[in-house]
Structure 1
């Protein structure tokens, strides 16, 4: 039997080794005011994931399919994101007698988790246990890596890289950045790259006179929280739903999207950007910066969540 709703019990966050997934679960804990206990999980065998879909469909709980750290409750809920965690989520929640929370739409599995927090661009079905958000869950706070040295406005540039949704065209990005430097002349320019930024893109970026630049290839820290605290304008490449989500949830910067090729990406990233642009959260850079400063208030959207 699941415990009564408790405001004090921690969350068990399942860790599949993918930071983008784990960070969403940790953000959920922060946004709901909960402590988080991390637990590594994985399938025992290569065929385990395929078998988990079948077992889940017929309601069969096979603990031998997964391996995980030793854990002991009580917990308010098991929380996880990503297809390598959802079967483990259901098994552990059942064993620990707590609720199950799936982040992102758990395609291929039954949708009867206690709570599913999905993204609108995945077109989740309408159901009482599904909360659809316009962005990925995220949390941001300053890291103390950079701060303004004078009263000039800060223009921050966040560059991703190649993904399964498409490749970043360095020549096209270079032309856009030249426009950014031109139309935002007199500002301080900051830059950060990501783990996906290719060497050819980085080489191009080093030709620009950024006042502050952090290249992930040589310094794998994250100044995004500082950028969001201080920037007046934020330019983000259109390849990462996580970077875009963070940009439209925190700070007061106007957010412009830099397409990685001459058109917006298709698929879920394109659907997400179209929705955010329509609702005034982002502006698609067209040679002139926009003034899209509206922010998604994740805490308010999660205010009704009870665990």
Structure 2
């Protein structure tokens, strides 16, 4: 895609912004980012229902009026997305299903299958989150055989248990006696888990609270196996869309079936991952997001 520029509206949440950026990178679209802040969120749903679009419901930074489309991710951006698109007669792209907002007046919605999007001409269903991975040279296998473990943390659905995690890590180390072991924690990892990881005598460990770095792209780039806790759809999406590593999921405790579990089970059926049960599988099929997104090339490159 040539000579296209996107205005990305951001709610300052990295997980949201990264999906918008990933879309642009996959399609080679230039972009610039403008932060938006809602003043009256509840009114954005009402005004959207009534087809009223005004800049008075949100604040935003200065920006250049030189763009071909508006892209955003997250409920705090969708009303602003439509407002900019309508006022400047540009195309609008929503990453993730914009629940609570009308879907018919977005030009394109990139919705994850686990959100159960309806069938519509402007909705492209994706099996995983939008993600774009590039190795960062934070970690390097240096020719050695490595197994990596990525540890998340508690959220509203999953809870991480120290004793169970210890048992899983000990089982992994026992299975891979001839391999070097690399482990990273993440922003949500509890301190007691980080203290345990720090106590391990392993070849590489990154404690996120002490080093705010992300070696996951490098793990996926050179490790033979990557184990990931089940709490993050973004980490799992990264793992099944980049590299050649076999992916193993360490299941955490959860109370009931949810969209995270649905995502994991669907990816298991596609042989993109294996649920770690003390044994390992050979599961390294990858989701080609580039291929899935090619279908929107023509629509977005056609000017209004």
TM superposition score category, shorter chain reference: over 0.9
Aligned residues: 297
Question: Structure 1: where are the runs of 5+ without partners?
Answer: 1-5
Question: Structure 2: where are the runs of 5+ without partners?
Answer: none
Per the alignment, residue 119 of structure 1 pairs with 112
Per the alignment, residue 15 of structure 1 pairs with 10
| Offset at residue 170 of structure 1 (A) | 1.5
Indicate which of 123, 130, 134 corresponds to 1:137: 130
Is residue 9–residue 74 contact of structure 1 (8 Å, CA) maintained in 2?
no
Per the alignment, residue 293 of structure 1 pairs with 284
CA distance in 2, matches of 1:34, 1:59: 29
| Offset at residue 299 of structure 1 (A) | 0.3
Is residue 239–residue 265 contact of structure 1 (8 Å, CA) maintained in 2?
no
- Which SS does the other structure have where 1:56 is aligned? helix
CA distance in 1, matches of 2:212, 2:175: 30
Is residue 81–residue 104 contact of structure 1 (8 Å, CA) maintained in 2?
yes
CA distance in 2, matches of 1:13, 1:271: 29
Question: What TM-score, normalized by structure 1, do the two folds share?
Answer: 0.94
| Offset at residue 148 of structure 1 (A) | 1.8
Per the alignment, residue 198 of structure 2 pairs with 206
Question: What TM-score, normalized by structure 2, do the two folds share?
Answer: 0.95
Indicate which of 251, 259, 264 corresponds to 1:268: 259
> In the TM superposition, what whole-angstrom CA distance separates every residue of 1:201-246 from its partner, at most 9, and x where no partner exists?
1112223222111111011011111111101000000000000000
> In the TM superposition, what whole-angstrom CA distance separates every residue of 1:171-228 from its partner, at most 9, and x where no partner exists?
1111111111111111011111111111011112223222111111011011111111
Is residue 10–residue 35 contact of structure 2 (8 Å, CA) maintained in 1?
yes
CA distance in 1, matches of 2:90, 2:61: 17
Per the alignment, residue 146 of structure 1 pairs with 139
| Offset at residue 150 of structure 1 (A) | 4.0
CA distance in 1, matches of 2:233, 2:119: 22
1:280 and 2:244 are equivalent in the alignment: no
1:49 and 2:44 are equivalent in the alignment: no
